[in-house]
Amino acid sequence: MATPLPTHRAQIELILSAWGFSAAATAATADVLAWADLHGIDSHGISMLTMYDDWRRAGRLDPRAEPRILRQSPVSALVDGGGGLGHWPGRFAMQTAIDKAAGIGMAAVAVRNSAHYGACGYYALMAAERGLIGITTTTTSGARVAPTRAAEAKLGTDPWCFAAPGAPGQPFLLDMATTTVAFGKIRNKANEGISCPPGWLLDAQGQPSTDANDAVSRGGFLTPLGGTPEGSSHKGYGLAAMVNILAACLSGATVTPHPAHGKSPGGMGIGHFFLALDPGLFREAADFRAEVAAFCDLLRAATPADPAQPVLVAGDPERAVAACRGRAGITIAAGLGEKLRAIAAASGAPWLLD
């Protein structure tokens, strides 16, 4: 059964609150998770509560954590996440970048001592909705990806997100991992006993494989964007390395390949990076937005290879899903619903999703 967005979000809040998270952390996390589910990014929505519950039980998250600025200038800030979930520090950091950019034109904020912060698009969209260009990236909790030519995982999915304001309500919004495909797609192939297309994964010896189980249960790896050296996987590898430089080296978080990454007691050791840029530094902001809108329309007007599949621009698919789910509600799969119901019961949180 589909649940209206306010009820869906309220369920997330009730569980987080029952776990002992502060009102501010609960509100920020519920906003980000519910936004992801509304826009069809189900891997980063309410389903994440199952993983957060594991981390919480293992003492890896501090529900009382508060983000705080360690150092700052008119155009920058360094934020400590306090060892809690990353959604509140993420929103705090991007808002700090936006506020500084509003006064001086651009600002960058780095965050350390944080954890998973959800869907990148939420944060970049914060900037676009204020008429700014927004960029964000984050390291991840574990290594699943082998660098080009390697037979060992050294990187995570290490996403990039870029947003630019255009037509009202239709910003350009690109949110992408630096792997060829998400791990979930490979896991689904394994569950179904279906082979993967060439280029998705490597076996434990670093050799190309199409057997999903090599990556899921036999010690294999995901490939960087590009899939193979011949397919230019060095580009995805390079993008993932840039993520670590900006989100970890700049903030003081541990880089993903470091032996201590994700192993410090009481925290996940993840770093984030945020940038807000005012187009008005370069030209009239209204002219910039109009040109971005016109550019996106030119792309959509491209002749489709399949008339039934029109050309889209980054952000279009998610907005279409949000419009549908905003009307019809958000549906949770039965298996996930049972897991969440058990988590709610164990925490003492009321269950709203029947």
| Average pLDDT of the residues in 147-157 | 94
**pLDDT digits 0-9 by tens, 23-54:** 999 999 999 999 999 999 998 999 999 999 99
Using the 8-state DSSP alphabet, how is residue 105 labeled? S
Mean pLDDT of 224-243: 96
- At 266 the pLDDT is 63
pLDDT band per the 50, 70, 90 thresholds, residue 260: confident
Which tens digits make up the pLDDT trace of 288-327? 999 999 999 999 999 999 999 999 999 999 999 999 999 9
* CA 62 – CA 282 distance, rounded (Å): 42
Q: What is the pLDDT of residue 187?
A: 81
Tally of CB atoms within 10 A around 325:
20
Binned at pLDDT 50, 70 and 90, residue 265 comes out as: low
Q: Answer whether 0.85 is exceeded by the pTM.
A: yes
- 250 and 110 Cβ atoms separated by less than 8 Å: yes
Inform me whether the pLDDT recorded for 93 exceeds 80: yes
C-alpha distances (whole Å) from 111 to each of 22, 244, 274, 283, 349 are 19, 12, 9, 30, 31
Query: DSSP string of 257-296?
Result: TSTTTTTSTT---EEEEEEEE-GGGTS-HHHHHHHHHHHH
CB count, 10 Å around CB of 331? 15
Residue-level pLDDT at 268: 85
Residue 190 has pLDDT above 90, yes or no: no
| pLDDT confidence band for 261 (50 / 70 / 90) | confident
Average model confidence (pLDDT) across the chain? 95
For residue 152, CA distances in Å to 70, 236, 315 come to: 35, 16, 34
**Average pLDDT estimate for 69-94:** 98
The per-residue pLDDT for range 168-186, each reduced to its tens digit, is 999 999 999 999 998 878 8
Q: Give the containing element (helix H, strand E) for 137.
A: strand 133-138
**Contacts from 45-48 at CB under 8 Å and sequence distance 24+?**
45/119, 46/8, 46/11, 46/12, 46/332, 46/336, 46/340, 47/336, 48/116, 48/118
Residue 73 has pLDDT above 70, yes or no: yes
Q: Which of 59, 242, 98 is nearest to 159 (CA)?
A: 242
How sure is the predictor about 236, in pLDDT bands with cuts at 50, 70 and 90?
Answer: very high
- Domains of the chain plus CATH, in order, are 1-58+328-354 (1.10.1530.10), 65-179+228-279 (3.30.1370.60), 184-222 (3.30.60.50)
pLDDT score at 327: 97
Can you say how many angstroms the Cα of residue 127 is from the centroid of all Cα atoms in its chain? 16
39 or 187, which is more confident: 39
Give the sign of the dihedral formed by CA 99, CA 103, CA 108, CA 113: negative
